[in-house]
């Protein structure tokens, strides 16, 4: 019953590319969601926690869908 995943997690972590793409995709989804809802983003800026309008945050380039079917979820 215990099957080894088809991708070796150690090599994924060592390479880091898939992780980087997943983080960018997650950031993109969060910004888009905040824009849809009209809710400010809470970020860390110059040692302080601040609220900023989601429209003022640059939307990362679509990474080709890392972590979500179709790219934007």
Q: Are the C-beta atoms of 66 and 24 separated by less than 8 Å?
A: yes
What confidence tens digit (pLDDT) does each residue in 12-39 have?
Answer: 888 888 899 999 999 999 999 999 999 9
Query: What pLDDT score does 70 carry?
Result: 43
Query: What pLDDT score does 34 carry?
Result: 97
61 vs 49, more confident: 49
57 vs 70, more confident: 57
Q: Which segments of the chain are extended strands (E)?
A: 41-45, 48-52
Query: What pLDDT score does 44 carry?
Result: 95
Q: How far apart are CA 30 and CA 68, in angstroms?
A: 13
9 vs 56, more confident: 56
Tell me 61's DSSP state: P
């Amino acid at each position: 019953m215990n099957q080894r995943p088809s991708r070796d997690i150690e090599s994924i972590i060592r390479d880091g590319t898939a992780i980087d793409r997943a983080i960018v995709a997650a950031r993109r989804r969060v910004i888009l969601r905040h824009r849809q809802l009209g809710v400010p983003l809470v970020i860390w800026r110059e040692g302080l926690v601040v609220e900023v309008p989601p429209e003022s945050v640059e939307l990362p380039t679509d990474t080709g869908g890392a972590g979500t079917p179709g790219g934007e979820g």
